Amino acid sequence: MTTSIPSQPHMHLRTDATYPFDARGVAKRFRHAAIFGALDALHSGEAMDFINDHDPLPLLDQLRSRYGERIDWVYLERAPHMIRIRFSKMG
């Protein structure tokens, strides 16, 4: 007897996917490059939940300069030593 397993869409093929990115585990000298690479890899409609130990205000300025209106963000959590921001890639 065989059991059918329901088909699930592959995560990388979904356009509404949200991916985690914990910057606390990335060496500081590589963080911005890693974040830019992750954002570049997002497809339109996808998002990245960014976690960091401090408010990345200089990074946000760089993102606005680099991506303009193609990347939007909203703070999900703003506490001492814990920042969570959802970056969304627009069409």
Examine residue 10 and state whether it is found in any structural domain, yes or no.
no
Residue 12: the pLDDT is: 52
Number of domains observed in the structure of the chain: 1
- pLDDT score at 13: 53
28 within domain boundaries: yes
**Per the domain annotation, does 8 fall within a domain?**
no
The pLDDT value recorded for residue 91 is: 77
Question: What pLDDT is recorded for position 4?
Answer: 53
Is beta strand 71-79 parallel, antiparallel or unpaired with respect to 82-89?
Answer: antiparallel
47 lies in a domain? yes
Q: What would the DSSP string read from start to end of 17-55?
A: -EEEEEGGGS-GGGHHHHHHHHHHHPPTT-EEEEEESS-
Would 5 be classed as within a structural domain? no
Question: Does residue 44 belong to any structural domain of this protein?
Answer: yes
The answer to whether the beta carbons of residues 51 and 83 sit under 8 Å apart is yes
Domain span holding position 51:
17-89
Taking only the tens of pLDDT, the chain with its 91 residues reads: 555 555 555 555 555 699 999 999 999 999 999 999 999 999 999 999 999 999 999 999 999 999 999 999 999 999 999 999 999 999 7
What SS3 state is found at 62? helix
Residue 34 maps to which CATH number?
3.30.110
